Amino acid sequence: MPNQEEDISIQVVRSNREIDLENKLLEKEEKVEILEEKIETRKQSLQDQEKYLAQKSLKAETKIAEMYNRLYMRLKEDSTEKIEIFQTVKSVKNSEISSDEINISVENNHIENIGDKTSH
């Protein structure tokens, strides 16, 4: 009979170990599920951030392009004004009016005929 009691005792110990191992396995599986959920949540958050940053980047690029175009147009206008000023000065120099009769003042891209200095 002692042999049968030992067998029962060994079976109980094995059964308890199996139960402990199954419980530990279940705990590990639950932890894995929790971690997988956290990973999925984090992945979604990163995707949302990526979309947001892509939109911000596109807006910034659009703004930069608009600013560049405005600056380009302004520079183009300034150069056109400077060319007009140069052509006006050149035509005045080429005309029959002597430089003593006219004083040309160029300020802020405007040409002003002040008049004959000798009459003042």
pLDDT in tens, 104-119: 454 444 444 444 444 4
Residue found by looking up tokens 């984090």 in the block: 42
Please say whether the beta carbons of 49 and 57 come within 8 A: no
Residue found by looking up tokens 């005792």 in the block: 9
Write out residues in the chain with pLDDT < 70, as ranges. Answer: 1-2, 92-120
Domain boundaries, the chain: 2-119
- pTM, whole model, 2 decimals? 0.46
Joined together, the tokens standing for residue 62 give 């659009």
